C-alpha cells in the first residue's frame, strides 16, 4: 500500500500545503554568533516570513535528520524553503534511473542487507575480525527496478566494527538522528523525483553519478546514460531553465552542451580536481583547467566544495584565487555542503579545512555563508538542512 505522501505525488496532486518554516535551528546558530552587524541583521528578520529561494538547495533532501534521497527527506527540504532539490542519478540492472548518491551505496543507505536481496549484492556482509573492518557492497546494478522498489531508505551510515548485520546498519552519527527513519524512507526513481519536486514547487539539480560498473553496461553507453537523464525531464515537460544537471565528469557536461544545448547552458561541472596531489585553490598552475578555458568550452556553472572558495588573510575569511578567477571568466559558482560536518567547535572538518583556524563554534556558520554569498558571490549553496540557508537567503533578499 502506498503511503499518503507517495500517493499524492504519484497522482499529481500538490504535496506541499504547509507554509515554509525553518524551525529553531537558524536562530540557535545566530544566538552563537559574536555581536556585530551580521548578527543584528539576521536577528532583525526573526519575525519575517521565509520565502522559497533558489539560493537554498536541498542536498539529497534534508539528510541531517531524514534518510537521504527519500520522499520524506525532500518533503522536509521543501518545507524549509529549498527552491532547488537534488536527485543523484544512477541506474539499476535493467538500466532504469533511480535516486542514490552512488551506484554502490545501498548497503549504507537502505535496508538491503536485512532483506533477501542481500544475496544479490556484489559483496555480502563480512563481520569485523581483529583489525579487519566490517564490510559490504550493494549496488543498484545488482538488482532490478522492481526489486529496488521493495527497499526502504535509512540514514547513510555503517558501523565498521560490527559483528552482525544489525550492528553494521546501526551506525548513525550522534549529531544526526534515526528519529525520522524508524519506518524507513520511501525511495524514488529519477522520474518520480521529477514529479515530486514539481509538486513541491521546486526546481531540479540531478547529478549523473559515476557508474560502479564498466561502461558500456550491457550496451548502455555513458552518452546513453547522460541522454536518458535529460530525456526524463523532456518527457515530463520540464523547461530546461528549471534544470541544473551536474556531473564530476567534464565529458558529461560537454555532451549536454553539445547534444542538448538548452540544458547544457545550465549544466554544472562539479570540479573534483581538488583531489589531485599538490592542487591549490590559490595556485592556478596546479589546476587541471583554467577558468577561461572552461568558459570557452561552454561551461557556465562550476561547483567545488566550500573550502575551495575560501581562505584566510590576516584571520579574515576571503575568496580564493579559484573563486576570483571563476567570476572573472563569467562562470557562476554553486557550492556544497553546509550542515554536513556536525558541530563546528573543533575546526569544522573537511568542508572548512582552508579556514579551520577561525572555525571554533556553530556561530561561525552564518559568517561563512555570508562570505560565500556576498564576497565569493555564489549563486546557491547545498545544505543537509536547508532551513539554515533559506533563512539567510530570505533575510538578505536573495532569489
Which tens digits make up the pLDDT trace of 293-312? 999 999 999 999 999 999 99
User: For residue 7, what pLDDT is reported?
Assistant: 47
What does the DSSP 8-state code read for residue 105? -
3-class state of residue 297 by DSSP: coil
User: For residue 19, what pLDDT is reported?
Assistant: 86
Residue 11 clears pLDDT 80, i.e. is over it: no
Residue 206 clears pLDDT 50, i.e. is over it: yes
Mean pLDDT, residues 187-196 taken together? 98
118/272 Cα distance (integer angstroms)? 32
How far apart, in Å, are the Cα atoms of 146 and each of 103, 143, 150? 16, 8, 7
User: For residue 1, what pLDDT is reported?
Assistant: 40
**CATH 3.20.20.190 domain range(s) in the chain:** 4-87+188-396
Helix runs in the chain, H state only: 4-10, 25-31, 37-44, 71-79, 106-109, 145-148, 165-169, 190-199, 222-235, 250-259, 261-264, 291-296, 321-328, 365-370, 387-396
- pLDDT tens-place string over residues 273-296: 999 999 999 999 999 999 999 999
Q: Which three cell numbers stand for residue 293?
A: 578555458
Could you tell me which residues come within 8 angstroms of residue 173 by beta carbon, excluding any fewer than 6 positions away? 157, 342
Mean of the per-residue pLDDT values of the chain: 96
Residue 39 clears pLDDT 50, i.e. is over it: yes
- pLDDT tens-place string over residues 216-232: 999 999 999 999 999 99
> Roughly what angle, to the nearest 10 degrees, separates helices 222-235 and 250-259?
50
Could you tell me which residues come within 8 angstroms of residue 110 by beta carbon, excluding any fewer than 6 positions away? 138, 151, 152, 153, 154, 187
What does the DSSP 8-state code read for residue 353? G
Q: What is the pTM of this model?
A: 0.96
Asked whether 187 and 176 are in contact (CB, 8 A), the reply is no
The number of residues making up the chain comes to 399
51/369 Cα distance (integer angstroms)? 17
Residue 254 clears pLDDT 90, i.e. is over it: yes
Q: Which three cell numbers stand for residue 149?
A: 522498489
160/233 Cα distance (integer angstroms)? 39
User: For residue 3, what pLDDT is reported?
Assistant: 57
Q: Which three cell numbers stand for residue 187?
A: 525511495
- pLDDT tens-place string over residues 115-165: 999 999 999 999 999 999 999 999 999 999 999 999 999 999 999 999 999
The domain 4-87+188-396 belongs to what CATH superfamily? Phosphatidylinositol (PI) phosphodiesterase (3.20.20.190)
Residue 12 clears pLDDT 80, i.e. is over it: no
349/362 Cα distance (integer angstroms)? 12
Residue 326 clears pLDDT 50, i.e. is over it: yes
156/184 Cα distance (integer angstroms)? 12
321/139 Cα distance (integer angstroms)? 39
Amino acid at each position: 500500500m502506498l503511503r499518503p505522501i507517495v500517493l499524492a505525488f504519484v497522482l499529481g496532486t500538490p504535496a506541499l500545503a504547509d507554509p515554509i518554516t525553518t524551525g529553531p535551528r537558524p536562530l540557535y546558530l545566530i544566538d552563537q554568533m559574536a555581536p556585530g552587524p551580521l548578527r543584528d541583521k539576521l536577528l532583525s528578520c526573526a519575525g519575517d516570513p521565509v520565502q522559497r529561494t533558489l539560493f537554498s538547495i536541498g542536498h539529497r533532501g534534508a539528510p541531517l535528520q531524514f534518510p537521504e534521497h527519500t520522499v520524506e527527506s525532500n518533503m522536509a527540504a521543501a518545507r524549509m524553503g529549498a527552491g532547488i532539490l537534488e536527485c543523484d542519478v544512477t541506474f539499476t540492472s535493467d538500466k532504469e534511473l533511480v535516486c542514490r548518491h552512488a551506484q554502490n551505496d545501498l548497503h549504507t543507505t537502505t535496508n538491503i542487507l536485512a532483506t533477501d536481496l542481500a544475496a544479490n549484492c556484489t559483496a555480502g556482509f563480512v563481520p569485523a575480525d581483529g583489525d579487519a573492518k566490517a564490510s559490504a557492497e550493494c549496488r543498484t546494478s545488482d538488482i532490478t527496478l522492481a526489486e529496488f522498489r521493495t527497499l526502504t531508505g535509512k540514514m547513510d551510515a555503517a558501523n565498521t566494527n560490527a559483528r552482525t548485520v544489525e550492528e553494521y546498519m546501526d551506525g548513525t552519527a550522534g549529531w544526526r538522528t534515526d528519529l525520522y527513519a524508524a519506518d524507513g524512507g520511501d525511495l524514488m526513481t529519477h522520474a518520480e523525483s521529477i514529479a515530486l519536486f514539481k509538486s513541491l514547487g521546486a526546481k531540479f539539480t540531478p547529478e549523473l553519478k559515476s557508474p560502479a560498473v564498466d561502461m558500456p553496461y550491457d550496451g548502455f553507453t555513458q552518452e546513453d546514460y547522460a541522454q536518458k537523464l535529460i530525456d526524463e525531464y523532456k518527457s515530463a515537460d520540464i523547461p530546461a531553465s528549471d534544470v541544473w544537471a551536474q556531473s564530476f565528469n567534464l565529458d558529461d557536461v560537454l555532451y549536454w552542451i553539445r547534444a542538448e544545448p538548452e540544458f547544457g547552458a545550465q549544466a554544472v561541472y562539479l570540479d573534483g580536481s581538488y583531489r589531485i596531489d599538490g592542487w591549490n585553490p590559490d595556485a592556478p598552475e596546479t589546476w587541471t583547467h583554467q577558468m577561461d578555458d572552461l568558459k570557452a568550452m561552454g561551461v557556465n556553472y562550476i561547483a567545488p566544495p566550500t573550502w575551495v572558495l575560501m581562505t584566510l588573510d590576516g584571520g579574515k575569511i576571503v575568496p580564493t584565487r579559484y573563486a576570483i578567477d571563476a567570476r572573472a571568466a563569467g562562470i557562476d559558482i554553486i557550492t556544497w555542503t553546509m550542515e554536513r560536518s556536525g558541530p563546528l567547535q573543533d575546526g569544522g572538518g573537511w568542508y572548512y579545512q582552508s579556514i579551520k583556524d577561525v572555525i571554533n563554534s556553530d556561530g561561525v556558520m552564518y559568517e561563512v555563508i555570508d562570505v560565500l554569498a556576498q564576497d565569493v558571490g555564489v549563486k546557491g549553496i547545498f545544505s543537509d538542512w536547508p532551513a539554515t540557508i533559506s533563512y539567510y537567503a530570505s533575510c538578505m533578499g536573495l532569489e
